[in-house]
Amino acid sequence: MEGLRLIAKGAEADLWLDPDWNGRRVLIKRRGEKRYRHPELDRAIRRYRTIHEADIIHRAKEAGVPTPVIYQVDPEGATIVMEYVDGVKVREIVQRLSGDERRRLFRLIGVQAGRLHRAGVIHGDLTTSNMIRAGDSVVFVDFGLGEVSSEAEKRGVDLHLMRRMLTSTHFSHADELFKAFEEGYRSAMGGEADEALRRMREIERRGRYVER
């Protein structure tokens, strides 16, 4: 694709940067063909997942969670054209922040995760690699594994991913960051937070049992 720059190559989709799409700087997410699948099945899967991800992003935005603006969805081409968010991944700045800044940031992330869950949206890959700090906002990105559900188990899986990521990637601050995240999450979720957090702890115990 002429004029585009490949910035990320994933198992399911590639991300291209277009510096001048109708006068805008955008990201183009395209789900490529999978040769191991029957062509018609492959087309149907890529079409469905493209539409589904765009719908999830729309639901998240309606819930008050900052997400990239979608400019165009091409189901047949399995392509989404969306806003390029000018900022930095949260994963890259945690170590550079003061303690107070880190806690404020993760409380905000917790609030936004709670808003997602209250709206029946599961992110599916709730990690600091999929959050971009842009000014005073934190923009959630990459909803490719997202789904619509209010099941406590699925909420617990989202929270487990966040906690496990903090332990492995930001281990020196993991406890304080998750505490701040949980405060924000509870403030957005209200009484529903208890069951989701309980499920998260159950999932952690299952994981330790399997590892043995």
8 A C-beta contact, residue 70 and residue 80: yes
8 A C-beta contact, residue 131 and residue 141: yes
Closest CA to 65 of 1, 135, 138: 138
Q: Which of 125, 142, 158, 175 is catalytic?
A: 125
Q: Which two tokens stand for residue 5?
A: 């720059």
Q: CB neighbours (10 Å) of residue 139? A: 20
Q: Which two tokens stand for residue 122?
A: 């599961």
Decide if 125 is catalytic. yes
How far is it, in rounded angstroms, from Cα 29 to Cα 165? 24
DSSP one-letter code for 96: G
Active site residues: 125
